[in-house]
């Protein structure tokens, strides 16, 4: 049931939040504080004892040109034991994301350079995003169609390509690292999205649906931040509620290339003006409901932008703490 729990709720967040003034356009990412590097560390505990501790390492480098995000390089930390018995760690480049813009400095294409050929294309209707299409090796992976009211996205349809449900586990795992969603949700719920979305696609196929699977999402707002996302799919209802900190998000109006949410390449748009401090997911299936809540702790600089984000989760005899650190230009 937990796979279904995050089937649409987490994915909905990826394309949910947007607010545009007369001088702003969707797809134009120009933060006052520009991220230069991201570091991360995590520790797992069992019965209060450290089970595993990953040393802090640089996981991303952001390169800017003429005020626009040009590319992001993603790293992986490899830790091994040297011949003298000491622990050695080294960084390995995993992928590079490239960004292409139009004459209005809006993102029109983004791609991943690495083990797979992924390209996302963005189309606009005036100032507002109309569609996003993600192709894998020339075939449709996912696409979005957006609807606006009073300058805000109020609903969208997510279409899953024919091959989406058939991605094997090994291929899915390769996608995992390129995931800006970790800035919005903790790794644990984000890690459920891939398998959960495949469940949706397979459920539709089993039910005899013809053509691509299409999921519909509706949203409500609280000022410049999305307050709720709701979806209904084949008898199941999902609702995602958000609480914010009132500070500045460094990702406001960022349209990512493809968000590898635990392996699933989908467009990423972190467009709320503030940072999520609490996210509650409620699923109702056959009259029964289940709720899960994520909470996030931030530290900030003098301009009210986050310098770190921490999640601290406990279940039974386990505990998992993960922190991301942000350095700005």
Domain edges within the chain: 2-328
Q: Is the pLDDT of residue 194 over 90?
A: no
pLDDT at position 270 is 67
Q: What is the pLDDT of residue 210?
A: 53
Q: Does domain 2-328 have CATH number 2.40.160.40?
A: no
Q: Which of 155, 196, 259 has its CA nearest to residue 9?
A: 196
Q: Please say if the pLDDT value at position 75 is more than 80.
A: yes
**What is the C-alpha to C-alpha distance for residues 18 and 128, in angstroms, rounded to an integer?**
10
Which residues lie across from 87 on neighbouring strands?
81
The pLDDT of residue 192: 44
Instruction: Quote the mean pLDDT of the chain.
Output: 75
> Mean pLDDT highest for which of 20-24, 166-170, 238-242, 273-277?
273-277
**What pLDDT, on the 0 to 100 scale, is given for residue 189?**
36
Higher per-residue confidence, 55 vs 302: 302
282 band by pLDDT with thresholds 50, 70 and 90 = confident
Give 195's pLDDT tier (boundaries 50, 70, 90): very low
- What confidence category does residue 197 fall into, taking pLDDT thresholds of 50, 70 and 90? low
pLDDT digits (tens, 9 = 90+) for 133-187: 877 778 887 777 889 998 888 888 877 777 655 555 544 444 443 333 333 333 3
In the DSSP assignment, the letter for residue 304 is S
The percentage of residues in the chain with a pLDDT greater than 70, rounded to a whole number, is: 71
Per-range mean pLDDT, top range of 3-12, 165-174, 265-274: 265-274
* Cα 1 to Cα 99, 166, 168, 196, 277, distances in angstroms: 37, 20, 21, 9, 25
> Residue 231 belongs to what H/E stretch?
strand 225-233
Tokens of 54: 């990953």
More confident call, 268 vs 39: 39
């Amino acid at each position: 049931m937990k796979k279904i729990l995050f089937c649409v709720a987490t994915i909905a967040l990826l394309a949910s939040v947007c607010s545009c003034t007369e001088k702003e356009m969707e797809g134009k990412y120009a933060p006052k504080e520009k991220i230069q590097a991201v570091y991360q560390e995590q520790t797992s505990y069992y019965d209060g004892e450290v089970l595993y501790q990953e040393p802090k390492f640089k996981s991303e480098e952001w390169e800017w040109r003429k005020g626009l995000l040009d590319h992001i390089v993603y790293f992986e930390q490899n830790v091994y034991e040297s011949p003298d018995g000491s622990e050695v760690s080294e960084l390995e480049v995993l992928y590079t994301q490239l960004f292409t813009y139009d004459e209005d400095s809006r993102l029109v294409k983004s791609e991943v350079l690495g083990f797979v050929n992924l390209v996302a294309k963005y189309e606009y209707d005036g100032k507002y995003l109309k569609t996003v299409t993600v192709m894998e090796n020339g075939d449709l992976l996912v696409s979005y169609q957006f609807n606006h009211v009073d300058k805000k996205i109020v609903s969208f349809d997510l279409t899953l390509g024919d091959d989406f449900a058939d991605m094997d586990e090994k291929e899915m795992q390769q996608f995992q690292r390129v995931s800006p969603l970790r800035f919005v949700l903790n790794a644990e719920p984000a890690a459920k999205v891939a398998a959960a979305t495949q469940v949706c696609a397979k459920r539709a196929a089993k039910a005899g649906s013809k053509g691509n699977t299409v999921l519909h999402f509706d949203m409500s707002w609280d000022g410049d931040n999305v307050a709720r996302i709701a979806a209904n799919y084949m008898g199941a209802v999902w609702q995602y509620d958000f609480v914010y900190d009132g500070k500045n998000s460094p990702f406001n109006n960022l349209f990512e290339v493809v968000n590898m949410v635990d392996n699933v390449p989908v467009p990423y748009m972190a467009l709320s003006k503030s940072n999520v401090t609490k996210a509650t997911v409620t699923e109702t299936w056959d009259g029964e409901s289940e709720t899960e809540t994520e909470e996030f702790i931030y530290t900030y600089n003098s301009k009210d932008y986050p310098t770190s984000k921490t999640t601290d989760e406990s279940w039974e005899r386990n505990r998992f703490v993960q922190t991301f650190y942000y350095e700005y230009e």
